[in-house]
Chains A and B, each alone.
Chain A
Amino acid sequence: MTTTPTVHRATAVAARATELSKVYGEGETQVVALDRVTVDFPQGEFTAIMGPSGSGKSTLMHCVAGLDSFSSGSVRIGDTELSTLKDKQLTQLRRDKIGFIFQAFNLLPTLTALENITLPMDIAGRKPDAAWLQKVIDMVGLSDRLKHRPTELSGGQQQRVAVARALASQPEIIFGDEPTGNLDSRSGAEVLGFLRNSVRELGQTVVMVTHDPVAASYADRVIFLADGAVVDQMLHPTAEGVLDRMKAFDAKGRTS
C-alpha cells in the first residue's frame, strides 16, 4: 500500500467517480474535501466507505449520489454524467435511479409505512410493481406493520421501512448514510442483513458510509478514505480486519 490504489474491476459499473474533487472556499481559507478521487462501484456489490471524521467519506457519497455539487472531475450513474445535469434532472435521477437510506428522518410522519415505502413511486407517478413490492416487504418482515405510522414503529422497524423504500423502486444503486447510526446493535444487524441480502439475492448495488467496523464487515468491499483521498481498500472484510486497518491509519496519523 505505498501508492494510492485505484479500483478497477471487469464487471459492469453502477456508479463511477473519476478525478472527483470538491473544494470549499477560496485562497487562504480553501478546504479540499475531495482530492481527485477515482472510484468504481460495480453492479451487484455492497461497498462500505470508511474513514475518520473529516476524511470526506460523506462528501464522496453525497457527490456520487447527486445530492451535492462537485468542483471538478466526473461522476457517472450508469451511463449518466452528473456534472452536466441541472437540479431538475438531478432530482429526477435520484428519484428514478437511486435509493436512499439516511441515519434519521427517513420517513414522513404523516404517511403509513406502506405509503412511505411507495413514496418514490408516488412522486414519480408510477405504479409500484406489486410482486416486487411484496417480495421486498416480506424480506424486511413488515407485512403486519404496513398500516402503522412511523411514530408507532420502533427505530429498527422505521429503518426497515427505509430499506424497503429504497429497494421498492428497484433503483440502480442504493446509498446509505450511516444507516445504522441511530440503532441498537441488534436492529442494526437486521438492517445490514437486509442490505446484504438485497445484494446477494436481488442483485442490488449498495454503497454505505459508516464509521462502524462491524457494519462495514457486512460489505463485499471496504474503501478507506483519509484527507479527501482513497487510501486503501479491503475485499471480503471482517470486523477485526477493518478495525485493525483503521487503527493503523490512526497510528500513522499520530506518528506523521
Chain B
Amino acid sequence: MFRTALRNVLAHKARLLMTVLAVMLGVAFVSGTLVFTDTLGNAFRNQSAKSYDNVAVSVETYAGHDEKTPGIDDATLEKIRGLDGVASATGRVSGFAGVADPDGKLIGNGWSNTGANFAPGEDGKDAQYVFTDGSGPAKAGSVALDKDTAGKGEYRVGDAVRVATNGPVKEYTLSGIFTTEDGAVNAGGSLVLFDTPTAQKLYLKPGVFNDATVTAAGGVSDQKLLDAITPLLPDDAIAQTGKALADQQAKDIENGMSGLNGMLLAFAGIALFVGVFLIANTFTMLIAQRTRELALMRAIGATRRQIKRSVLLEAAVVGTIASVIGFALGLGLATGLRSAMGLLGGKIPAGPLIVSPTAVVSAFAVGVLITVLAAWLPARRAAKIAPVAAMGSVHATASTKSLVVRNSVGGVIALLGAAGIVGGAAAGGTSGRQLVAGGAFFALIGVIILIPLLSRPVIALVRPLLKKLFGVSGKLASQNAVRNPRRTGATASALAIGLTLVTGISVLGVTLGQAIDKMTTDNIKADYMVTMASGDALDQSALNALAKADGIAALSPQQAAWFEVDGEYQSASGVTPGDVEKVFSLTTVSGSLGSLKDGQVAVGSKTAKSNGWKTGDTLPVKFDDEEKGELTIGALYEENEFLSPFLIPKEMADEHSASSRPDIREIWIKADGGATKANEQSIVDALGDNPAMSVMDRQDIRDMFGGFINTALNIMYGLLAIALLIAVLGVVNTLAMSVFERQQEIGMLRAIGLDRGRVKRMIRLEAVVISVFGAVIGVGLGVFLGWAIGRTLSADIPGYALVIPWDRLGIFLLLAGLVGVLASLWPARSAAKLNMLTAIKTE
C-alpha cells in the first residue's frame, strides 16, 4: 500500500504542488515562530546571566524623594563592605537621561534612555563597564556614553554632549565611551554615566543610592552573603543573589516571549486552517479522477480500509515532504526576522540559532497532521467507491450529492453563531465579548458550511453584469464558477476566513481610532501638550520657563495628586485656576471653576452624583502627606478624559505632595493665534531645547493615542497576509483543476471559434468571481463581527460610534479581484495554450 501511495504522489506531482506550498507556508510560519522566539529567549537569557555573572548579591530599593523610602546610604554600604567575604559593594543610582544628537533630537525612544552613576572601585575601574575610548566620568560636568549612542550622535571623547534628565537640559564633556553587558543597552537603549555625586543629585539626593551590587571574595556562598546583608538594609529593600536575579529575569523574558509566541502561533494556526480547504479540495479532485483506478483496486480485492489508508498515506507523504521544506524555510524566516528586527532598531543580543526538539516535533506534527486531517473526508469518499465503477465508460464526475443535509446543519450552526454574536453585543462588557467570540467561531463555521449554497444565488446576481461587460466569456465564467459549488465554496472559504478577520479588525480599529480622535477634539482646547519622552514627570522648572515664554495665552499643568475622602483614595489633577478651562473643554454643571482660585475643589459630576455630593458641600480629606483638612466643592463639571475626577489648584497639590518633586504629567498650552511655527519654537526655546521633552500639537496628541491602533492594524494585516497568500494558492489550485477537468470543453470552444484571449478572460473572470465572492462573504461577516465587538466596548468608550471604513473595504474587494487575476495567470495561460485536437479527441 505504501508503494501505491508513493507512486500516486509522484504521479500527481504537479497537482499536489499547491498543497505542498500551502502546508509548507504554514509549517514555515510555525517553525519560524518557534525557532525565532527560542533564539531570542536564549540570547536574552544568556545576556542577563552574563550581566549578573560577578554579582553575588543585588539590592534594589524604590528610593524616591520622600522619607518613606530612604534608599541605601553610604553608611549602609560601608557596613556591607565590612562584612566577611565581601569583595566589593557598589552603590548604584539611575534614572532617565536623554542624549541629544547634534541636531538636538533625542537618541533612542524615551523609555529606553537611562542615566546611571559611574562607580569606580579602588583600582579606578567599574567592573560593569569596559571603556573602548577615554575613561569614566571622574568629576561633575563630564559623562560617558555607551558605544552605540556615541556612534549615533557621532560624539568623540572631549566633545560637548547635551544631556537631558528630568530637570533642565545641561551640557557635559564626554570623558569616555564604553561597552557593557547591560541588557537594556544591548537591547538598543542609551546609557549615560555620570560621576556618582552628580547622579545622586540628579536622581535622588547626595549620599544615597537606589541599588547596590555586592561581589563576593572567594569561598563564600552567595546565599550566606545575602543572609548577612539583609539585616543591614532598610525595610523596603529587596535583596537577592545574582543567580536568583538572573533566573527571575530569565523567567520574565520567558513570559514575554510566550506572549509573542502565542500571538504568532495563533496567526500560523489561521494560516494552516485556511490551508485545510486547499488540501481537501486537491484530494477530492485527485480521487474523483482516480475513481476507476480505485474501483479497480476494490474489484481485485482491496478493502475499504486499505483504500482509505492508502489515500491517507498519500497525504502523510505529501505532508512530510512539505514539512521538511517548510521547516527549512522556517529556519530562514527566523534568521531573517532577527536581522529584520536589527534593521528596525530593536537590537538583539547575538547568539546561536536555537532549534529545540519541540520546534522540530511540533512543526512536523502540525504539517503532517493538518494534511492527513484535511484528506480525511476525501479518503472516506474514496473508500465508498463501488467496485462496479471500474466498469463505467466515461470517467466518473465528482459526486453531486445533495447539499440538503449540509445546508441544514450549516444553517443551524450559522444561526446559533449569529444569535451568540447579537446576544453578546447586546450584553456588552467582557462576558458579552466572550459570547461574541464564541458566536463568531460558530458563525464562521456555519458560513463555511453554507458557502456552497450561497455561491449560486450570489454569483447569479452578478451574472447579467458580467455578461454585459465581457460577453460570452463573462457568461461562461459566472456559470463555471458555480459548477462545482463544493469546490467553489472551499476555495472562497479560505479567502472569506482571512477577510473576515482583516475586516473585523479594520472596522474595530478604525472605529476605536475615530472614537479616540473625537475624544481628543472634544476634550482639549489646548494647542500644545508638553510631556517627558521618558514618561516621567516634568520638572517644575519647565512650567516656570513656559510661564515666561512669549505667545502663551493659557497654561496649566496636569499634576497628579492623591487624597483620601472618607477613607477612599481619590486621584486629583492639580491645575492652574483660571487657565484650566482655557486648555480643556470643561462643561460646568453647577458652581464656578473660578472657585479653584479660592482653594476650593471641583468634582466630576458623575463622581459627585455617585457619592451624593453637590456644590457647597465640604469634604473631609486626608492628603498624601498625611495632613488632614476640609475641601469645599466649588463646582461640578462633566468628566473629562484627560483629567482626574477632582480638580484642585496646583498650589494645593504642591503643598500636600509627599514627594519633594511635583508630579507634573503634562503641561497644556493655549497659544496666542493657535498652533503656529513661531509659537511652537517659542515653547521649544523656553524649554531650553530639551531633547527629552516632547512638544505635541493636537495632531501629535491624536497620533499618540490613536497611532498604536494603526501600528497594530498594520502588524495584523502583515500576519494575516500569509493566510491570504495560502487562500490565493487555493484559487490557483481550484482553477488549475477546473482547467484540467474541462480540457475537452475548452478545446471544443476553441474549435467553434472562441479565441485564446477570450478563453483566458473566461478563466480569469471565473477566478475573479470566486475570489470576490469569498471576499464579499468575508467582508460582510467581518463588518458584523466588528460591529458586535465594538458594541461590547461601547460602554467603556465615550463618544463611541461605529465607523465602517468603506474605503478600506473597497480596497479589500479590489484586492480580492486582483488576487483572482493573479491566481488565474497560470491556469488561464495553460487553458489558452491547450491543444485543441487532443482536447476534443475522445479517450
Question: Hey, which bits of chain A sit against chain B, CB under 8 A?
Answer: 62, 67-68, 87-88, 91-92, 94-96, 99-100, 102-106, 108-111, 119-120, 122-125, 165, 177, 181-182
Known: A91-B755, A123-B753. A111 touches B479 (CB 8 A): yes
Q: In the complex, which of the residues A99, A104, A181 has the most CB atoms of chain B within 10 Å of its own CB atom? A: A104
Q: Which of A62, A96, A123, A165 contacts B758 (CB 8 A)?
A: A123
Closest A-B pairs by Cβ, 3 of them: A95-B753, A110-B479, A105-B744
Do A119 and B837 touch across chains, with their CB atoms under 8 A apart?
Answer: no
Residues of B within 8 A of A88 (CB): 755-757
Any chain A CB within 8 A of the CB of B416? no
Any chain A CB within 8 A of the CB of B184? no
Any chain A CB within 8 A of the CB of B125? no
A94 to B483 Cα, complex, angstroms: 27
Q: In the complex, which of the residues A68, A87, A105 has the most CB atoms of chain B within 10 Å of its own CB atom? A: A105
A62 to B835 Cα, complex, angstroms: 12
Do B745 and A105 touch across chains, with their CB atoms under 8 A apart?
Answer: yes
A58 to B471 Cα, complex, angstroms: 32
Any chain A CB within 8 A of the CB of B748? yes
Known: A67-B837, A105-B842, A123-B472. A94 touches B749 (CB 8 A): no
Q: How far is the CB of B403 from chain A (nearest CB, A)?
A: 17
Any chain A CB within 8 A of the CB of B670? no
Which residue of the partner chain B has the closest CB to A124?
A: B753
Any chain A CB within 8 A of the CB of B840? yes
Known: A68-B837, A102-B840, A125-B471. A108 touches B752 (CB 8 A): no
Q: How far is the CB of B399 from chain A (nearest CB, A)?
A: 14
Do A102 and B753 touch across chains, with their CB atoms under 8 A apart?
Answer: no
Q: How far is the CB of B770 from chain A (nearest CB, A)?
A: 15
Do B756 and A110 touch across chains, with their CB atoms under 8 A apart?
Answer: no
Do A91 and B842 touch across chains, with their CB atoms under 8 A apart?
Answer: no
Q: List 16 A-B contacts (CB under 8 A).
A: A91-B750, A91-B753, A91-B756, A95-B752, A100-B752, A102-B840, A105-B747, A110-B479, A110-B483, A111-B476, A122-B471, A123-B749, A123-B752, A123-B753, A125-B471, A165-B752
Q: How far is the CB of A116 from chain B (nearest CB, A)?
A: 10
Which residue of the partner chain B has the closest CB to A104?
A: B842
Q: Which of B745, B751, B756 contacts A94 (CB 8 A)?
A: B751
A165 to B472 Cα, complex, angstroms: 16
Do A110 and B480 touch across chains, with their CB atoms under 8 A apart?
Answer: yes
A190 to B147 Cα, complex, angstroms: 95
Do A94 and B476 touch across chains, with their CB atoms under 8 A apart?
Answer: no
Residues of B within 8 A of A92 (CB): 753, 755
Residues of B within 8 A of A110 (CB): 476, 479-480, 483
Any chain A CB within 8 A of the CB of B836? yes
Any chain A CB within 8 A of the CB of B678? no
Residues of B within 8 A of A102 (CB): 748, 751, 840
Q: How far is the CB of B353 from chain A (nearest CB, A)?
A: 54
Any chain A CB within 8 A of the CB of B754? yes
A119 to B473 Cα, complex, angstroms: 11
Question: Hey, which bits of chain B sit against chain A, CB under 8 A?
Answer: 471-472, 475-476, 479-480, 483, 744-745, 747-758, 836-837, 840, 842
Q: How far is the CB of B393 from chain A (nearest CB, A)?
A: 10
Residues of A within 8 A of B756 (CB): 87-88, 91
Q: Which of B750, B753, B754, B837 contacts A62 (CB 8 A)?
A: B837
Could you list 4 further interchain pairs (A-B, Cβ under 8 angstroms) beyond the known A106-B748, A109-B483, A119-B472?
A110-B479, A111-B479, A123-B471, A125-B471
Q: How far is the CB of A104 from chain B (nearest CB, A)?
A: 5
A109 to B475 Cα, complex, angstroms: 13
Residues of B within 8 A of A165 (CB): 752
Q: In the complex, which of the residues B745, B752, B837 has the most CB atoms of chain A within 10 Å of its own CB atom? A: B752
Residues of A within 8 A of B754 (CB): 91, 95, 123
Which residue of the partner chain A has the closest CB to B482?
A: A110
A67 to B758 Cα, complex, angstroms: 17
A123 to B483 Cα, complex, angstroms: 20
A100 to B749 Cα, complex, angstroms: 10
Do A67 and B752 touch across chains, with their CB atoms under 8 A apart?
Answer: no
Residues of B within 8 A of A109 (CB): 483, 745
Which residue of the partner chain B has the closest CB to A102?
A: B840
Do A94 and B752 touch across chains, with their CB atoms under 8 A apart?
Answer: yes
A104 to B745 Cα, complex, angstroms: 10
A111 to B758 Cα, complex, angstroms: 17
A124 to B408 Cα, complex, angstroms: 43
Residues of A within 8 A of B475 (CB): 122
A123 to B750 Cα, complex, angstroms: 10
Do A67 and B483 touch across chains, with their CB atoms under 8 A apart?
Answer: no
Which residue of the partner chain B has the closest CB to A94?
A: B753
A96 to B752 Cα, complex, angstroms: 9
Do A105 and B748 touch across chains, with their CB atoms under 8 A apart?
Answer: yes
Q: How far is the CB of A21 from chain B (nearest CB, A)?
A: 17
A177 to B756 Cα, complex, angstroms: 22
Residues of A within 8 A of B744 (CB): 104-105
Residues of A within 8 A of B745 (CB): 105, 108-109
Residues of A within 8 A of B753 (CB): 91-92, 94-96, 120, 123-124
Residues of A within 8 A of B476 (CB): 108, 110-111
Residues of B within 8 A of A99 (CB): 752
Q: How far is the CB of B697 from chain A (nearest CB, A)?
A: 60
Do A67 and B749 touch across chains, with their CB atoms under 8 A apart?
Answer: no
Which residue of the partner chain B has the closest CB to A68?
A: B837
Q: How far is the CB of B741 from chain A (nearest CB, A)?
A: 11
Residues of A within 8 A of B757 (CB): 88
Which residue of the partner chain A has the closest CB to B759?
A: A91
Q: How far is the CB of A127 from chain B (nearest CB, A)?
A: 13
Q: How far is the CB of A95 from chain B (nearest CB, A)?
A: 2
A37 to B753 Cα, complex, angstroms: 26
Which residue of the partner chain A has the closest CB to B840?
A: A102
Residues of A within 8 A of B837 (CB): 62, 67-68
Which residue of the partner chain A has the closest CB to B751?
A: A100
A109 to B744 Cα, complex, angstroms: 12
Do A120 and B752 touch across chains, with their CB atoms under 8 A apart?
Answer: yes
Q: Which of A68, A87, A96, A108 contacts B749 (CB 8 A)?
A: A108
A161 to B750 Cα, complex, angstroms: 18
Residues of B within 8 A of A119 (CB): 472, 752
Residues of A within 8 A of B840 (CB): 102, 105, 177
Residues of B within 8 A of A67 (CB): 751, 836-837
Do B472 and A122 touch across chains, with their CB atoms under 8 A apart?
Answer: yes
Q: How far is the CB of B740 from chain A (nearest CB, A)?
A: 14
A125 to B480 Cα, complex, angstroms: 20
Which residue of the partner chain A has the closest CB to B479?
A: A110
Residues of B within 8 A of A120 (CB): 752-753
Which residue of the partner chain B has the closest CB to A95?
A: B753
Residues of A within 8 A of B480 (CB): 110
Q: In the complex, which of the residues A100, A102, A111, A120 has the most CB atoms of chain B within 10 Å of its own CB atom? A: A102
A68 to B836 Cα, complex, angstroms: 8
Residues of A within 8 A of B752 (CB): 94-95, 99-100, 119-120, 123, 165
A91 to B842 Cα, complex, angstroms: 22
Q: How far is the CB of A112 from chain B (nearest CB, A)?
A: 11
Q: In the complex, which of the residues B475, B751, B754 has the most CB atoms of chain A within 10 Å of its own CB atom? A: B751
A100 to B747 Cα, complex, angstroms: 12
A91 to B756 Cα, complex, angstroms: 8
Residues of A within 8 A of B479 (CB): 110-111
Q: How far is the CB of A65 from chain B (nearest CB, A)?
A: 8
Residues of B within 8 A of A105 (CB): 744-745, 747-748, 840, 842
Which residue of the partner chain B has the closest CB to A178?
A: B842
Q: How far is the CB of A40 from chain B (nearest CB, A)?
A: 23
A106 to B753 Cα, complex, angstroms: 13
Residues of B within 8 A of A124 (CB): 753
Q: How far is the CB of B663 from chain A (nearest CB, A)?
A: 74
Which residue of the partner chain B has the closest CB to A110?
A: B479
Residues of A within 8 A of B747 (CB): 105
Which residue of the partner chain A has the closest CB to B842?
A: A104
A181 to B843 Cα, complex, angstroms: 12
Which residue of the partner chain B has the closest CB to A96?
A: B753
Which residue of the partner chain A has the closest CB to B475?
A: A122
A179 to B476 Cα, complex, angstroms: 25
Q: How far is the CB of B620 from chain A (nearest CB, A)?
A: 84
